């Protein structure tokens, strides 16, 4: 395309613990298996600043262009692309997988994984992320979006579509335990970014939701927000007291519980909420663990009631493709009833990282608007 510049700006981390800086870089070439994408919005994790300042000790080789998932437009498609075309709206997914090794998985711009294969890819091939005006993307990580349906008919913008970054994670966990329409799900806790999104996703999947949390004010906001966007939602809340038996009784008061999803942050790893939720499950109930668990959770109750426990790191590519179909089918809330995004320019990265750490909960995300 004639409007592709010869260079672009990128936000670079020279070493963990140092300030990020803007750098002018030469435009890469779209080789076979790759796509050059013009970035419109790139999501910022609530703990992105802690990754780059070293508080969270994630394996990451520097210098690196930071990043996460993004929404963009195809600038140049590699010669082996068959359906992607310049100008097409796409989702750029940060979950990179080895094409010949299923154990090679890492989160682009966040960490390089723990296997030799993922580290090879993360260091040598797909290294620099999406905190830039343009990004070179693995072909399979560039998902076409139906712009006519999403934007023209349903009214979504790139600034709202970026919320997929939160929605996809719990969807992967819920799919892994085969959550079905009509079942009752406990989300514990539910007042964070990913966990709040889990409530929205479960409602879209047709489940009844019991949302647990310590913050009564945020629980009330969660319920109001979700019902405003999806008036048919069947949602209840339970305030976590720390009394394991009492919290279990509160959950059981709502009837049969089929499944639990846990998305606890590290700070909540020693909480009793998961134990309470598991004790409320019916025989044969399922648990998806996607967060930090510091309590022993497999005991006699687990065996006696034939419970199923499934660990899950993010989601599969099939989950991503299915969720895009759900969004295009209009199964989720629209506009500000889905998400209210706070966006920043790349040069304002310090403000963005602070905002991301504070602006959390259901329907909230921070992005770089590029």
Assign 293 to helix, strand or coil.
coil
Residue 94 has pLDDT above 60, yes or no: yes
Residue 55 has pLDDT above 50, yes or no: yes
DSSP 8-state assignment for residue 281: E
Buried b (16+ CB within 10 A) or exposed e, 133-144: bbbbbbbebbbe
Give the residue-averaged pLDDT of 211-240.
Answer: 98
Cα→Cα distances 142→37, 135, 184, Å: 9, 11, 34
Which residues is 368 bridged to in the sheet?
42, 344
Q: What is the β-pairing status of strands 281-289 and 257-262? A: parallel
No. of helices (H) and no. of strands (E), the chain: 12, 18
Which residues is 355 bridged to in the sheet?
none
| pLDDT tens profile 313-333 | 999 999 999 999 999 999 999
Average pLDDT, the chain: 97
Tokens 């479960």 appear where? 202
| pLDDT tens profile 142-165 | 999 999 999 999 999 999 999 999
| Confidence (pLDDT) at 17 | 97
| Confidence (pLDDT) at 2 | 52
**Two structure tokens written together for 40:** 């419109």
Residue 1 has pLDDT above 50, yes or no: no
Q: What is the β-pairing status of strands 64-65 and 34-44? A: unpaired
Question: For the ranges 58-62, 192-196, 292-296, which has the lowest average pLDDT?
Answer: 292-296
Question: For the ranges 127-131, 250-254, 264-268, 356-360, which has the lowest average pLDDT?
Answer: 264-268
| 0.85 surpassed by pTM | yes
| Confidence (pLDDT) at 3 | 82
| Confidence (pLDDT) at 12 | 98
Residue 124 has pLDDT above 80, yes or no: yes
- Cβ-based neighbour number of residue 245 at 10 Å: 12
* Rounded-to-integer distance, Cα 230 and Cα 163, Å: 16
Write the DSSP string, 40-69: EEEEE-TTHHHHHHTSS-----SSEE----
| pLDDT tens profile 58-82 | 999 999 999 999 999 999 999 999 9
Q: Residue 167: how many CA atoms within 13 Å on its side-chain side?
A: 25
Q: What is the β-pairing status of strands 235-239 and 257-262? A: unpaired
Residue (of 179, 186, 288, 173) closest to 247 by Cα position: 186
């Amino acid at each position: 395309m004639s409007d592709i510049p010869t260079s672009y700006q990128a936000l670079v981390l020279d070493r963990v613990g140092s300030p990020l800086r803007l750098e002018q870089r030469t435009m890469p070439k779209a080789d076979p298996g790759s796509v050059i994408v013009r970035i419109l919005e790139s999501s910022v994790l609530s703990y992105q600043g802690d990754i780059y300042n070293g508080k969270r000790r994630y394996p990451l080789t520097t210098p690196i262009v930071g990043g996460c998932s993004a929404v963009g437009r195809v600038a140049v498609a590699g010669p082996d692309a068959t359906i992607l075309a310049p100008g097409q709206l796409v989702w750029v997914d940060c979950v990179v997988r080895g094409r010949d090794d299923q154990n090679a998985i890492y989160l682009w711009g966040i960490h390089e994984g723990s296997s030799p294969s993922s580290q090879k890819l993360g260091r040598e091939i797909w290294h620099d992320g999406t905190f830039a005006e343009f990004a070179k993307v693995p072909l399979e990580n560039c998902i076409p979006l139906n712009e006519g349906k999403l934007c023209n008919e349903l009214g979504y913008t790139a600034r709202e579509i970026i919320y997929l970054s939160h929605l996809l994670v719990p969807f992967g966990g819920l799919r892994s335990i085969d959550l079905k329409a009509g079942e009752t799900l406990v989300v514990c806790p539910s007042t964070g970014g990913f966990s709040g999104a889990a409530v929205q996703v479960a409602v879209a999947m047709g489940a009844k939701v019991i949302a647990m949390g310590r913050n009564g004010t945020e629980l009330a906001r969660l319920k109001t927000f979700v019902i405003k966007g999806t008036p048919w939602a069947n949602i209840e809340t339970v305030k976590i007291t720390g009394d394991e038996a009492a919290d279990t009784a509160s959950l059981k008061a709502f009837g049969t519980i089929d499944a639990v999803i846990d998305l606890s942050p590290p700070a909540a790893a020693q909480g009793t909420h998961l134990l309470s939720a598991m004790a409320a499950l019916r025989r044969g109930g399922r648990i998806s663990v996607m967060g930090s668990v510091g309590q022993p959770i497999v005991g006699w109750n687990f065996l006696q009631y034939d419970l199923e426990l499934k660990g899950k790191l993010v989601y599969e590519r099939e989950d991503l493709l299915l969720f895009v179909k759900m969004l295009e089918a209009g199964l989720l809330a629209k506009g500000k009833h889905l998400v209210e995004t706070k966006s920043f320019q790349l040069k304002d990265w310090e403000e963005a990282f602070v905002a991301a750490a504070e602006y959390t909960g259901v329907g909230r995300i921070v992005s770089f608007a590029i």
